[in-house]
Structure formats: C-alpha cells, structure tokens
A and B are shown apart, each in its own frame.
Chain A
Amino acid sequence: MSTLSTMWTCHWAGRRIQRYLDADPAAPLTAQEAHRLHRHLATCAKCASAAEDFRGLRRALATWSQHRTPDPQLAARVRDTARQLIAEDAG
C-alpha cells in the first residue's frame, strides 16, 4: 500500500475508532465499516495503539462513576419528597 493510501486509511479509521468502541445505537458502524476497521487495526500499529489508548481511557473514566454515585440518603430524601408531593396532590 502506498504511503498516501495508508495515510488516507488511517484518517478514515481515526474517524471511526471511537464509534466502534462505544457501539452506541445512535451512531453505529455498518458491518462493512467494522470489517474494514478490523483489518486496518490488525495491520496498523499506530491506529491499534490509538484504539488501545481510547479503551484504557474509557476504562479509567468508568471507575470514576463509583465515586459519583449519589449518597443513598440523598436519593432517599429525593424520593421521599417526591412521594410527599404525590400525597399532597392526592389530599
């Protein structure tokens, strides 16, 4: 593959790696795109390294969620107030 062609494929892959990793229903890759991306990642160290970095980043940020879970007392208070609102509405 020529250098220009490789650069173009890397550019193409770079625009899709995150969507591939996220697999979000609002922005899916087509089967053809996913297949082409797989093939590219298997042969391009630079893009494979980027994919691995993005995976690691997502894993690291996912651990933050454990520290951003609402205090059960806070959640209970919100629920209680909501129920009180309903009771007042019924009364």
Chain B
Amino acid sequence: MTGGRRPGHGEDVGSHRTPEGRRHDVGKEATKPPGFPTVTPGLNDAATTNQAARTRAFAQHVEPEIDVLLRVARTLTGSWADAEDLVQDTLIRAYRGLESFDGAHPRAWLLTILRNTNINSHRRQRPDLLDADDSPERHTPAFGATSTPSPEQTVTDRELGEDLQRAVAALDPKFSTVLLLVDVDDLTYSEVADVLGIAVGTVTSRLSRARKRLRHDLNANARRSS
C-alpha cells in the first residue's frame, strides 16, 4: 500500500449491471444474500457469527477477483502503484458492503465499487472518463502516461510491436481504455460498462471505432514501409 485514503462507512457501494447488462441495485433485494446468512437478532453470538459470515463471503466472492481488479485498475490509472491503492480502497469498500451484496455476479459488483472508488478519489483522473468528445483520435497526452515508462517497459513495448503500440497510444484514451479492457484485460462488454459507468452500446461503439482506427493506421504504416 502506497497511499492512505480510507472511504467512510455508509458510502455508496453502488448499483451495478449484471453480465447480461441489467442494472442491479445493491441492497434493494427482497431476498437475503445467499453468501451472507441471516443472523437471528438477540443471540449472544450474533456478532461472532456475522463476522464469520462476512469473512467467508469475502474469501468466496472478493479474493478470487483481486488479480482482475489489479489489472483493470492498472489500465484505469496507468501505474501499478496507483492500481494497488485503488484496489486496496475498493476491497475496503467491498468488505463494508458485503452485507448488502446478494452473492450474484461478484465481479460486476466489485467493478462498480472500483469505479465509484476511482471517481471519488482525489487522484488525478484520466481524461477518458471525463471527456465528452467522440473522436477516436488522441487529443490529450495521457495514454498510459501517468508515469514515465521504465527502460524495461520500453524494451517490452518494443518486443510487442512498436507500430501497434504507437497506434494504440495515438487513440483518444476514452477509446484506448475500452480497447485495453476488452482485448488485453479480457473483460466482457458488460464488465467494461460497469467499470466505466457507460452503456453496453457505448462500449461496443468505442471498441469498434478503436479497432477500425488501429486497422487503418497499421495498414497505412505497412503501405508506407513496403
């Protein structure tokens, strides 16, 4: 942990979309969460039982998603250090919100918490979440650039294909973020919609335009080289 924000109790852990794209309001369910058993009020060991259930639910629903959360947070923030902070704060919120989680679609639930945590943080926001322009061409200098790439990263990038790297970097971050979340981090359209707070249709539209732009740029480069 490199930073020190702590979200307060009672903060909104949000509503989220199911993988099918439906909105899903956390905490408004008529049924009790299957992963979080009801505790009968008045029992002496109620608090202990509640704690055990919360610990069990955390291990069952949250811990398996930590790697995915870190990858997504890395894409959103542009650095592993910021990703670590963001995920840490997300886990704290998730832990506090477990009692209202219904046990279904934990990844969608966690991605929504991660989005809210990122929005509410005082960290520097990447412009892809704020910019209203709808052109896939980059016009802000922020892609993956919240920190200067290390020499090691630069070598790695070269190994992965300079042309592709350049073409992705030339995209507006709003488009490259969707592209990276789907094609690199392997999220579904609905999961991307959850983590960015946009409609699934917007995800498909941005993704399509990003890929078409990449194809155009890479083919143009290939023609110039031949």
Residue numbers of A with Cβ under 8 A of B are 15, 18-19, 22, 24-27, 50, 53-54, 57-58, 60-65, 67-71, 74-75, 77-79, 81-82, 85-86, 89-90
Contacts and interface: CB of A to CB of B under 8 A. Distances in A.
For chain B, the bracket of interface size reads 35 or more
Interface SS of A by simple majority: helix
Contacts of B80: 70-71, 74
Contact of B156 (A53, A67, A70, A90): A67
Interface string B198-226: 00100010011001001100110000000
**Which 6 residue pairs of A and B lie closest in terms of their CB atoms, listed nearest first?**
A61-B183, A70-B70, A26-B189, A64-B184, A24-B189, A26-B190
Given A68-B71, A68-B74, A82-B58, A54 B190 contact: no
Interface stretch (B23-31, B87-95, B117-125, B132-140): B87-95
A54 B183 contact: no
Interface of B: 1, 19-21, 51, 54-55, 58, 62-63, 66-67, 70-71, 74-75, 80, 83-84, 87-88, 91-92, 95, 156, 160-161, 164, 179-180, 182-186, 188-190, 193, 200, 204, 207-208, 211, 214-215, 218-219
Interface SS of B by simple majority: helix
A74 B82 CA distance: 12
A82 B74 contact: no
A85 B215 contact: no
A79 B184 contact: no
B215 A50 contact: yes
Contact of A53 (B180, B204, B215): B215
A15 B92 CA distance: 41
